[in-house]
Structure 1
Amino acid sequence: MFRSLRTRLLITYLLVSALVLAIVGIALLFFLLTNPEAQRLAYSRIEIAMNALTVRDMRSLLSGPAAALETTLQRFDQASGVRVLILTPRGSILADSRPEAELPDEDRLMEIASSPEATQDAFRDQENLRWLYSSKPIANGHTLVVAVPSPVLRTLLTYSDELLLKPLTQAGIVALVISFVFAWLISRWVASPLQSVSRAAKAVAAGDYSTRPEPAGPNEVESLAISFNEMVQRVQSSQVAQRDFVANVSHELKTPLTSIQGFAQAILDGTADDPEAQRHAAGVIFNESDRLRRLVEDLLDLAKLDTGQVAFERKPIDLTALLDSVVEKLSLPASEKGVRIENHIPSLPTLIGDGDRLAQVFTNLVDNAVKHSPEGGAVALRGEQRAGIILVHVDDQGAGIPDAELSRIFERFYQLDKARSGGKGRGVGLGLAISREIVQAHDGRLKARSEIGKGSRFTVELPIARPDDETLMQPLSRG
Structure 2
Amino acid sequence: MFRSLRARLLLTHMLVSALVLILVAVSLLVFLINSRQLDELTTRRLRGAAELVAERGPRVLQFLGTDRLNAAFRNLGVPNARGMIVGQEGAILNDTRPGDEPPPADVIQAAASRDPDTHGGYGGLFNRWLYVAQPLGEGRSLLLLAPRPNPVAAIGQELLLPLILRAALVALAASLVLAWLISRWVSAPLKKTAEAARSVAAGDYDQRLAPSGPDEAHSLATSFNEMVQQVQGSQQAMRDFVANVSHDLRTPLTSIQGYAQAILDGTASDVKNAAGVIYDESDRLGRLVEQLLDLARMDAGQAPLDRRPVDLGAILAAIVERLKLKADKKNIRIQNPMEPLPKLIGDGDRLAQVFTNLIDNALKHTPEGGEVRLKTEVSSGWVAVHVDDTGPGISSEDLSRIFERFYQLDKSRSGSGPRGAGLGLAISREIVQAHGGSLEAQSVVGRGSRFTVRLPIVQPDDETLARPQRQ
**Structure 2 length as normaliser, TM-score?**
0.71
Q: CA deviation at 1:427?
A: 3.7
Which of 452-461 and 279-288 deviates more? 452-461
SS at match of 2:336: strand
Match for residue 309 of structure 2 among 286, 309, 316: 316
Alignment map for 1:9-408 (pairs within 5 Å): 17=16, 45=42, 69-71=54-56, 86-87=61-62, 98=72, 101=75, 112-114=97-99, 117-118=102-103, 145-147=144-146, 150-151=149-150, 155-156=154-155, 160=159, 181-272=177-268, 274=269, 277-408=270-401
Report how far residue 69 of structure 1 moved.
3.7
| CA contact 1:215–1:223 (8 Å) conserved in 2 | yes
Q: Give CA deviations for 1:297-319 in whole Å, capped at 9, x if unaligned.
A: 11111111223221112222221
Identity of aligned residues (%): 50
SS at match of 1:338: coil
Report the more deviating stretch, 165-174 or 193-202. Answer: 165-174
Offset at residue 257 of structure 1 (A) = 0.8
* Deviation of the 1:112 alpha carbon: 1.7
Counterparts of 1:445 and 1:425, CA distance in 2 = 28
Distance 2:399 2:368 in 1: 23
Q: What is the rounded CA distance, in whole Å, between the counterparts of 1:245 and 1:375 in structure 2? A: 30
1:112 alignment partner AA: R
In structure 2, runs of 5+ residues without a counterpart are: 1-7, 81-93, 105-127, 467-471
Tell me if structure 2 keeps the 8 A contact 1:87–1:144. Answer: no
Aligned twin of 1:126: none
8 A Cα contact 1:87 1:142, kept in partner: no
Give me the whole-angstrom Cα distance separating, in 2, the residues matched to 1:426 and 1:242. 17
Q: How well do the aligned residues superpose, as a CA RMSD in angstroms?
A: 5.0
- The one-letter amino acid paired with 1:192 is A
User: Quick one: distance in 2 between partners of 1:215 and 1:302?
Assistant: 36
Aligned to 1:4: none
Shift of 1:371: 2.7
Contact 2:24–2:167 (CA<8 Å) still a contact in 1?
A: no
Is 1:85–1:94's contact at 8 Å kept on the other side of the alignment? no
Does residue 458 in structure 1 map to residue 433 in structure 2?
no
Report how far residue 411 of structure 1 moved.
3.5
Residues 46, 133 of structure 1: 8 Å contact kept: no
Q: Is the 8 A contact 2:62 2:96 kept in 1?
A: no
Q: Extract unaligned runs of 5+ from structure 1.
A: 1-8, 54-60, 62-66, 74-83, 120-131, 474-479
CA separation of 1:172 and 1:320: change in aligned 2, threshold 3 A: same
Deviation at 1:133, TM superposition (A): 7.0
3-state secondary structure, aligned to 1:390: strand
Tell whether the 8 Å contact from 1:46 to 1:146 is kept in structure 2 after alignment.
no
1:392-436 per-position Cα deviation (integer Å, ceiling 9, x unaligned): 111223333344433343344444455556513544433222212
CA 1:252–1:225: 2 relative to 1, 3 Å? same
Structure 2: distance between partners of 1:93 and 1:402:
107
Amino acid aligned to 2:255: S
User: CA 1:42 to 1:302, structure 2 compared with 1: closer, same or farther past 3 Å?
Assistant: same
Q: Distance in 1 between matches of 2:211 and 2:316?
A: 51
The alpha-carbon deviation at position 209 of structure 1 amounts to 2.3
- Output the CA distance in 2 between the equivalents of 1:348 and 1:190: 58
Aligned equivalents of 2:37 and 2:407: distance in 1? Answer: 94
Q: How far apart are residue 292 of structure 1 and its match? A: 0.6
* Cα shift at 1:381: 1.3
Is the Cα–Cα contact under 8 Å of residues 29 and 153 in structure 1 kept in the other structure? no
Which amino acid letter does the alignment assign opposite residue 340 of structure 1?
A: R
* In structure 1, C-alpha distance between the alignment counterparts of 2:457 and 2:447, rounded to whole Å: 31
Cα 1:261–1:219 shift into 2, 3 Å = same
SS in 2 for 1:344: coil
Give the TM-score normalised by the residue count of structure 1: 0.69
- The answer to whether the 8 A contact 1:118-1:136 is kept is no
1:334 deviation in Å? 2.4
How far apart, in 1, do the equivalents of 2:278 and 2:344 lie?
42
Q: How many residues align?
A: 418
CA distance in 1: counterparts of 2:68 and 2:414, whole angstroms: 129
